[in-house]
């Protein structure tokens, strides 16, 4: 049984606030994934229901013992309802966000479909944007990651 979406969103916001306090105290080293889903010259961006509300790349944390590409597959199934087996590694970026150091493994894949079933508890919106028309309120390091994505047919 799933909780109603408004309750899920409150849960995400509370959890994020608690984690920010933990990160401030512990200053951990974490690993995560960011996924670039493309359709021709367009890229999928999402807005989370917690934390900064900028347009960002979908992704999430890597679970203990999980391979980064497995985390990418899992996160895209959970957040967007898509199953993608073939991911192209784009490399890693290290960022410091909310007093934690993140090693972010980046992947790119062609989206199997444009219509997605987003997790409304975690994501407020998802949208396709032309790579030369990205929104002004782009996530903290999304631009750095997108710079590593080859042009269509490239």
Percent of the chain past pLDDT 70, that is, above it, reads 99
Residue indicated by tokens 């509370």: 14
Mean pLDDT, all residues of the chain: 94
Measured between alpha carbons, how far is 125 from 114 in angstroms, rounded to an integer? 14
Which residues, in sequence order, are CB contacts of 76 under 8 Å at separation 6+?
Answer: 35, 37, 58, 82, 83, 84
pLDDT at residue number 46: 98
Structure tokens, 132: 């030369």
Residue 79 has pLDDT above 80, yes or no: yes
Residue indicated by tokens 């899992």: 74
pTM score: 0.90
Are the beta carbons of 63 and 78 closer than 8 angstroms? Answer: no
Structure tokens, 120: 């409304």
pLDDT at residue number 154: 62
**Mapped to the 3 state alphabet, what secondary structure does 58-114 carry?**
CEEECCCCCCHHHHHHHHHHHHHCCCCCCCEEEEEEEEEECCEEEEEEEEEEECCCC
Residue 47 has pLDDT above 90, yes or no: yes
pLDDT at residue number 44: 97
Region 66-91 average pLDDT: 96
Residue 153 has pLDDT above 80, yes or no: no
Residues in the chain: 154
Percent of the chain past pLDDT 90, that is, above it, reads 85
Residue 137 has pLDDT above 90, yes or no: yes
Q: Hey, what domains does the chain have and what are their CATH numbers?
A: 5-146 (3.90.79.10)
């Amino acid at each position: 049984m799933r909780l109603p979406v408004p309750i899920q969103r409150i849960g995400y916001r509370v959890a994020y606030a608690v984690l920010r306090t933990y990160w401030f105290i512990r200053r951990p080293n974490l690993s995560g994934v960011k996924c670039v889903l493309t359709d021709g010259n367009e890229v999928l961006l999402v807005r989370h229901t917690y934390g900064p509300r900028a347009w960002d790349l979908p992704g999430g944390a890597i679970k203990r013992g999980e391979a980064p590409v497995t985390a990418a597959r899992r996160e895209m199934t959970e957040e967007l309802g898509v199953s993608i087996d073939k991911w192209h590694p784009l490399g890693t970026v290290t960022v410091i966000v909310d007093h934690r150091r993140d090693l972010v493994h980046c992947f790119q894949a062609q989206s199997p479909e444009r219509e997605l079933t987003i997790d409304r508890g975690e994501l407020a919106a998802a949208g396709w944007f032309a790579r030369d028309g990205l929104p002004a309120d782009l996530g903290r390091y999304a631009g750095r990651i997108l710079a590593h994505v080859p042009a269509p047919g490239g």
